[in-house]
Amino acid sequence: MIESHQLARLAKPHHKEPTDIRWIPLNFPWYKINIDAAVFAVSKSVGIGVVVRDREGSVVAALSKRMPLPLGPLEAKAKAMHEAVTFAKDVGLQDVIFETDSAILSTAQNDIPMAPTSIDNVIQDTHHSLQAF
Looking at the DSSP bridge assignments, the partners of residue 4 are none
Q: What is the pLDDT of residue 21?
A: 63
User: The whole model's pTM is what?
Assistant: 0.77
pLDDT at 92 over 70: yes
pLDDT at 42 over 70: yes
Residue 36, pLDDT above cutoff 70: yes
Residue 8 has pLDDT above 70, yes or no: no
CATH of domain 23-130: 3.30.420.10
What region does 68 belong to: left with phi over 0, alpha with psi -120 to 50, or beta? beta
Query: So where are the chain's domains?
Result: 23-130
Q: How far apart are CA 63 and CA 48, in angstroms?
A: 8
pLDDT in tens, 44-82: 999 999 999 998 889 999 999 999 989 999 999 999 999
Q: Are 31 and 95 within 8 A, CB to CB?
A: yes
The pLDDT value recorded for residue 109 is 82
